[in-house]
Structure 1
Amino acid sequence: MSRIETVNTTGPAVERRSIDFVPASERHGKPFGQFTLWFGANMQITAIVTGSLSVIFGANAFWGIIGLLIGNVLGGAVMALHAAQGPKLGLPQMISSRAQFGVYGAVLPLVLVIVMYLGFAATGAVLAGQAVDQIIPTGNPIVGLVVFGALTVLVATLGYKYIHALGRISTTVGIIGFTYLGIRLFMANDIGAILSPEGFAIPTFLLSISLSAGWQLTYGPYVADYSRYLPADTPAHRTFLGCFSGSVLGAQWSMILGALFASIAMPPGQDFLDQQIGFVGNLAGGGAIAVLMYVVIVVGKLTVNTLNAYGGYMTILTSVSAFTRQLRFAPWVRFAYVIGFITISILIAILATEEFISNFKNFVLMLLMVFIPWSSINLVDYYLISKEKVDIPALYDPKGRYGKWNVPALITYVVGVLVQIPFLAQTMYTGPMTALLGGADISWIVGLVVTAAVYYPVARKFQHPPKEMVFPPGVAD
């Protein structure tokens, strides 16, 4: 049967929806929009820094780049499987996780997701603020942070349509700017010698894979937020490919530059890590060209920071609505939440010491281990247990099919977190199994596999998914 409503081709100028179901009359866009959004979000300075870490931590540039590619492909596939849920469900990502954890139970990972968004927003704003200060020299770095924060609030408040528009802009300027940086890099250095395949080492190779896989996996909790407006009949494989190819290609391009930057800096990577913005400006050639590169950096960081702010707002509302049972929120509510979220992140960036920012970043990276079992449970349940069929009204009703708490799923989730601890290789904690692996961090692989293996038989016994999709009243299937 066809839906009662017809499909819109453009969508409203300012987004009206929040955590509620998107009806067919408001669906619009094409899967290619997923490509430009995620390509643009990954063409940014923090992705370059992540790529540089593979070399700084000891990998040969050639093998580091290969490892980064493998990690991007593996992590990107998991992330894109979440994105493919968006058109089918018409819901934000974390609302749909109530089908696994219960209406109240889903709040547990949600709180940690909010901390992650806040951490990425605060640490990313530091770099973006430096770039803004280079474009508009004021002698006061706080001005750059405030300007960047205001731009983030503007786009995140306008919502979905403008976020995708920003993704298209970021893709265009990113391709131009990063191509120019690549040309400058090759002209000034013997890249052939840097890319010698000698010096392969398993620990650093696995570390490179983990760096990029972790980068991709952090998008999982909000990736469907940006595909949920696509028409419901959009083929899942097209949504998957649009998101996957954009995110993997954008991230890999940036990380290759990072690995090469670290290889030419002396000692390895130190010049780049000490002054990332200045390093890029100098490589660009200084002067007006450097200013243009700073603009590229700001646009890239603005894209991903807007995703963090918008995702943070959606996650907070999802948590609040579990107890208030409110389905829709006015645009001014989004504005208020986004203002509060960005204000906190900017205050952290302004008031925190450099040591605190470094420790906070390490803490946020360590939080990755709490999202991996969530991701595994969500994907196993949606694709293998529920088989893409969800009772949407029950997601908002603690007395409905999914209940308040899904204890078996929550226990599995905790097991998925705990099983990773011995395999962690983070700045704040190193597990006992890490030494046996030569320092490599494979916790994310352990978390994904063990959680899936435990959850599948548990879900087969305790989950009772609907036989068909159940839509809100007034929506035909």
Structure 2
Amino acid sequence: MSEKTEQTQLIENHTVDYVPLAERHGKARDLFTLWFSTNIAPLPIVTGAMVVQVFHLNLLWGLVAIVLGHLIGGVVIALASAQGPRMGIPQMVQSRGQFGRYGALLIVFFAAIIYVGFFISNIVLAGESIHGMVNAVPLPAGIIIGALSATAIGVIGYRFIHTLNRIGTWVMGSALLAGFFMIFSHDLPLDFFSRGAFNLSGFLATVSLGIIWQISFSPYVSDYSRYLPVDIGIARPFLATYAGACLGTILSFSFGAVAVLATPEGTEAMAAVKQATGGLGPVLMVLFLLNIISHNALNLYGATLSIVTSIQTFAGSWTPSIKVRVVLSAIVLTGCCFMALGASSNFISHFIGLILALLLVLVPWASINLIDFYLIKRGSYDIASIFAADGGIYGRFNPHAIVAYFIGILVQLPFANTSLYVGPWANLIDGVDLSWLMGLAVTCPLYWCLATRNAPVCAGVRGRAAVTRNT
């Protein structure tokens, strides 16, 4: 298929298969608009409000912690994104080159749960938003409308998602800047700059939150860069993703903190946004709703690719078609709608607690992924082996990666501070979850040592992979 034909197709025709070089298209700047627009949304705004409401930092120290956390965490998402053009396959499929064909299944399973969890939470949030703006629309109908809209975007796929976010960058970016202007154009409360104060636990908790926020995107970030031309290199997709993800989240987190400071203490975050921005508030609510739907398409897209990857693991000669992706999207949509319609009033908070707990399994995966790609194989993978029924040169299981992965999870548990589990050392620094730091500190050197014990063999693998990577 020619590049022209690929670009004029409405619905994406690839699933988890390799994107041939002749079908590559797009620019690095598409990654900036995707990750910038995606993060101008209610969830990061509400999370940013926690800096003031939960961690009790003042504006200055809150902004410093927000910026620092996202600049550090953004390195992980940007390094993961830069793998896409080189590999030309979804992130979860690539994990077979690190964990083995069957060893990667556990990672794919966790990723699918995270995607589905966020999809359900977002359609509930979209339904509540629609019902709140148009009372005549019942909540169940609002949930279904939000779900169907996100599904339509996810089914159309890669190009449409990028197109929407290119538009969203200008619309949502301008709206957020207008929101800042509206807040500061009104009289601010006397304690706007003095409410809260520096405290070490709050500062470190905010920094950790920013880092974890960025890491949470790493399982699917290269799904949206895999169509880029292979000669685009590493630096350009890295910088575009880094700038978009960091700038979008920093602005949204900061907006949430500023909005709650501009309203009486204790005001709920989104109510504070609507109140502090005056006449612009209702417009922002509509735009946020549209962005929830657009962003939720990424969750459905990722969930579908993860499920397809799992099925294809047991059918080595099968290349899933577009019909498979459409059918699976419909199945995921139906199941998620049933769960969302039967959800309790505090469903979102409980499910988000589960998702944040699952981040414990993402940190060691991200560590192994980055060490393997950049320091061990240096971007050279045998694509044919990744799709081979027996795992090719990567085998069915890679014990080095699996051992490092589970040890990386175990060392986090004593420091974990989640709604599902609190470790014995969780309050080493009051209220600060340091589990991610332990996961990175242990998994990275451990995997490096295990994977390079047979350096000559690794070198031979890299040589063969370099020859066959683009076949």
TM-score (norm 1): 0.92
Does structure 1 residue 459 correspond to structure 2 residue 456? Answer: no
2:82 touches 2:222 (CA, 8 Å); kept in 1? yes
TM superposition shift of 1:127: 2.1
Give the alignment partner of residue 76 of structure 2, picking from 78, 84, 89: 78
2:325 and 2:317 map into 1 onto residues whose CA distance is 14
Q: Which has the higher mean CA deviation after the structures are superposed, 301-310 or 246-255?
A: 301-310
Report the AA paired with residue 179 of structure 1. Answer: L
> What aligned pairs does 1:378-393 form with structure 2 within 5 A after superposition?
378-393=369-384
1:36 touches 1:246 (CA, 8 Å); kept in 2? yes
2:206 and 2:228 map into 1 onto residues whose CA distance is 34
Structure 1 residues 422, 266: closer, same or farther in 2, change over 3 A?
Answer: farther
> What aligned pairs does 1:2-81 form with structure 2 within 5 A after superposition?
10=7, 12-60=9-57, 61-81=59-79
Does structure 1 residue 304 correspond to structure 2 residue 295? Answer: yes
2:231 partner SS: coil
1:233 partner SS: helix
Gaps spanning 5+ residues in structure 2: where?
A: none
Report the AA paired with residue 425 of structure 2. Answer: M
1:2-30 CA-partner distances (Å, limit 9, x unpaired): xx987989463321111111011210000
1:231-276 CA-partner distances (Å, limit 9, x unpaired): 00002110001111001101110000111223344443xx225xx3
Q: Which has the higher mean CA deviation after the structures are superposed, 391-400 or 78-87?
A: 391-400
Structure 1 residues 48, 245: closer, same or farther in 2, change over 3 A?
Answer: same
> What aligned pairs does 1:347-426 form with structure 2 within 5 A after superposition?
347-399=338-390, 400-426=392-418
Does structure 1 residue 329 correspond to structure 2 residue 326? Answer: no
1:471 and 1:261 map into 2 onto residues whose CA distance is 55
1:51 and 1:198 map into 2 onto residues whose CA distance is 14
1:437 and 1:213 map into 2 onto residues whose CA distance is 17
Matching residue of 1:148 = 146
TM superposition shift of 1:292: 2.5
2:415 touches 2:425 (CA, 8 Å); kept in 1? yes
1:361 and 1:219 map into 2 onto residues whose CA distance is 15
Matching residue of 1:95 = 93
Structure 1 residues 49, 65: closer, same or farther in 2, change over 3 A?
Answer: same
1:174 and 1:130 map into 2 onto residues whose CA distance is 20
1:461 and 1:189 map into 2 onto residues whose CA distance is 64
Q: Which has the higher mean CA deviation after the structures are superposed, 18-27 or 196-205?
A: 196-205
Structure 1 residues 11, 217: closer, same or farther in 2, change over 3 A?
Answer: farther
1:378-423 CA-partner distances (Å, limit 9, x unpaired): 1000111101110101011242111111122111100001111111
1:401 and 1:189 map into 2 onto residues whose CA distance is 66
1:329 and 1:416 map into 2 onto residues whose CA distance is 33
2:86 touches 2:233 (CA, 8 Å); kept in 1? no
Gaps spanning 5+ residues in structure 1: where?
A: none
Report the AA paired with residue 94 of structure 2. Answer: S
Give the alignment partner of residue 272 of structure 1, picking from 268, 274, 281: 268
1:22 partner SS: coil
Matching residue of 1:172 = 170
1:121 and 1:189 map into 2 onto residues whose CA distance is 38
Matching residue of 1:110 = 108
1:66 and 1:250 map into 2 onto residues whose CA distance is 16
2:230 partner SS: coil
Report the AA paired with residue 63 of structure 1. Answer: W
1:63 touches 1:197 (CA, 8 Å); kept in 2? no
Residue identity (%): 33
1:56-86 CA-partner distances (Å, limit 9, x unpaired): 2223132222112111111111011000000
Matching residue of 1:238 = 236
Report the AA paired with residue 441 of structure 1. Answer: D
1:291-324 CA-partner distances (Å, limit 9, x unpaired): 4222211222122211111011111111111111
1:327 and 1:253 map into 2 onto residues whose CA distance is 44
1:93 touches 1:223 (CA, 8 Å); kept in 2? yes
Structure 1 residues 116, 9: closer, same or farther in 2, change over 3 A?
Answer: closer
1:336 and 1:279 map into 2 onto residues whose CA distance is 41
TM superposition shift of 1:148: 1.0
Matching residue of 1:162 = 160
1:308 and 1:259 map into 2 onto residues whose CA distance is 26
Matching residue of 1:219 = 217
Matching residue of 2:278 = 285
2:98 touches 2:398 (CA, 8 Å); kept in 1? yes
TM superposition shift of 1:186: 1.4
1:383 and 1:342 map into 2 onto residues whose CA distance is 36
1:143 and 1:417 map into 2 onto residues whose CA distance is 40
TM superposition shift of 1:435: 2.3
1:159 and 1:340 map into 2 onto residues whose CA distance is 17
1:397 touches 1:403 (CA, 8 Å); kept in 2? no
Structure 1 residues 198, 54: closer, same or farther in 2, change over 3 A?
Answer: closer
1:5 touches 1:24 (CA, 8 Å); kept in 2? no
Report the AA paired with residue 72 of structure 1. Answer: H
Q: Which has the higher mean CA deviation after the structures are superposed, 130-139 or 441-450?
A: 130-139
Report the AA paired with residue 278 of structure 2. Answer: G
TM superposition shift of 1:327: 4.7
Structure 1 residues 388, 262: closer, same or farther in 2, change over 3 A?
Answer: same
2:195 touches 2:261 (CA, 8 Å); kept in 1? no
TM superposition shift of 1:190: 2.6
1:218 touches 1:368 (CA, 8 Å); kept in 2? yes
